[in-house]
Amino acid sequence: MIGVAPTLDESIQQQLRELTPQVLGILVRRYRDFPGCEDAVQEALIAAAAQWPRDGVPDNARGWLLKVATRRLTDQIRADTARRLREQLVVSLVPADEQIAHAADAISDRDDTLDLYFMCCHPALSPSSQVALTLRAIGGLTTAEIASAFMVPEATMAQRVSRAKQTIKRAGGSFGEPTCVEQAERLPAVLNVLYLIFNEGYAPTSGPDVFCVDRSSEAIRVTRLLRERMPAHPEVTGLLALMLLTDARRNARVDGEGMIVPLDEQDRSRWHRGQIAEGVALLQEALAAGAVGTYQIQAAVAALHDEASSTDTTDWPQILALYTLLQQMADSPMVRLSRAIALAMVDGPVAGLRALDSLAADPVLRDHYRVAAARGHLHERAGNRDHAVVHYRKAADSTTSTAERHYLLLRAARLAER
């Protein structure tokens, strides 16, 4: 989490992750200065990370963060003599210290999180910058994690986020609540943000964890809120279905020693059948609307995996057809990679390896660890153990996920011993 020490107790980290968008939402509504409010909230998080482990979590944790962030914000304004008129306006709006906690309690029943997602996906920014800024400020993803999601260098993403903040600053930091029409226009960016946050929680791109439950669970929670607001939108329903159908397999993704378990080796009795049933029902509802979108297609792939009794009985031809359709609708490096793997399951590993060879011209995919890992898997299926070992080790050297690295190295070691 931004501004929070990685060694902080997990329960406090989770509480701060949940409170961050709430506090930021309150400040943005009040002062309409997103960059200043974000800086103030980050300073409040740093203060909490230093004080709460020592002094205990306050009874009104959100009120505490709001008070500290408000003080930081007003201090910044007072220090800026060139903005004296704005200082007077903001100071006149700031409640007395003893009233701040009460003000937070007065609106405690309102969840600002979803509103803040829509606010941050501001039309002054390009679509990619909308998503990047929202992931950084609200989703709590690091610049490195966002860069991985976009498959660009970290330095490139840092510049993009910085430019987005400067654009908002030049626009006056105006982050009013969007109208229903504006929400509809910003919906694709909001859906993309929630999708990427969920993915980063389900399979973190760096660090030792196989998954980050609070991050993926928060994405599901906010997507449920979005569906309540837009119940008739098939892609909102499709995204929620995709999340539930994917998250249903989470417990089976790790063994008793904390190692990753690939899909074809998972104990399917550990899959969450309630989530699968809900996800399938949501998918059927979304598809019945007649406007098929990318999240519905991905949810359909997830449903085919979840409803199969084994990898061998999975309807791979249907999955291949769905990835072919998805590539036509929204081509991307990961879609092409997924289609190559599905092709291997239909026509054999040699066909899959040829498909992977055709991706070599793509500079994004050429050196990506997932491509090397896929090559290792297909060579293993084809009986080419030496080649599989080479590619598994190459993938392990390329990934920033400790859990993925351990899995790939173990896979290579087991093959090398045979």
pLDDT digits (tens, 9 = 90+) for 19-32: 887 788 788 777 76
| CATH match of 315-418 with 3.10.20.30 | no
Strands 206-207 and 400-401: parallel
The pLDDT value given to residue 8? 61
DSSP string for 300-324:
HHHHHHHH-SSSTTS-HHHHHHHHH
Among 20-34, 112-126, 245-259, which range has the highest average pLDDT? Answer: 245-259
Q: How confident is the model at residue 363 (pLDDT cuts 50, 70, 90)?
A: confident
99/349: higher pLDDT: 349
- Chain region(s) in the chain for CATH 1.25.40.10: 315-418
Structure tokens at 146: 């966002």
The pLDDT value given to residue 171? 66
For residues 237-254, give the mean pLDDT.
97
How many whole angstroms separate alpha carbon 125 and alpha carbon 14?
30
Q: Is there a contact between 257 and 210 (Cβ–Cβ < 8 Å)?
A: no
Placement of tokens 């950084």 in the chain: 136
The pLDDT value given to residue 137? 76
- Which residues is 401 bridged to in the sheet? 207
The pLDDT value given to residue 95? 54
DSSP string for 251-283:
GGGB-TTS-B--GGG--GGGS-HHHHHHHHHHH
The pLDDT value given to residue 107? 43
DSSP string for 103-157:
HHHHTTT---HHHHHHHHS-TTS-HHHHHHHHHHHTS---HHHHHHHHTS-HHHH
Lowest-pLDDT range of 101-110, 251-260, 314-323: 101-110
The pLDDT value given to residue 21? 78
Average pLDDT, the chain: 85
* pLDDT digit string, tens, across residues 75-111: 776 665 444 444 444 545 555 454 444 444 444 445 6
Burial 60-90 (b: 16+ CB within 10 A, else e): bbbbbbbbbbbbbbbebbeeeeeeeeebeeb
Give Cβ neighbours of residue 250 (< 8 Å, ≥ 6 apart).
202, 211, 213, 216, 272
Among the listed residues 255, 224, 18, the one whose alpha carbon sits nearest the alpha carbon of residue 138: 18
Say if residue 185's pLDDT is above 50: yes
Q: Is there a contact between 383 and 346 (Cβ–Cβ < 8 Å)?
A: no
Q: How confident is the model at residue 392 (pLDDT cuts 50, 70, 90)?
A: very high
For residues 389-403, give the mean pLDDT.
94
What is the Cβ-side half-sphere exposure of residue 140, based on CA atoms within 13 angstroms? 28
Say if residue 277's pLDDT is above 50: yes
What percent of the chain stands above pLDDT 90?
48
For residues 258-284, give the mean pLDDT.
96
Among the listed residues 114, 112, 1, 5, the one whose alpha carbon sits nearest the alpha carbon of residue 62: 112
Among the listed residues 76, 109, 108, the one whose alpha carbon sits nearest the alpha carbon of residue 90: 76
Among the listed residues 143, 123, 127, the one whose alpha carbon sits nearest the alpha carbon of residue 135: 143
Q: What is the pTM of this model?
A: 0.80
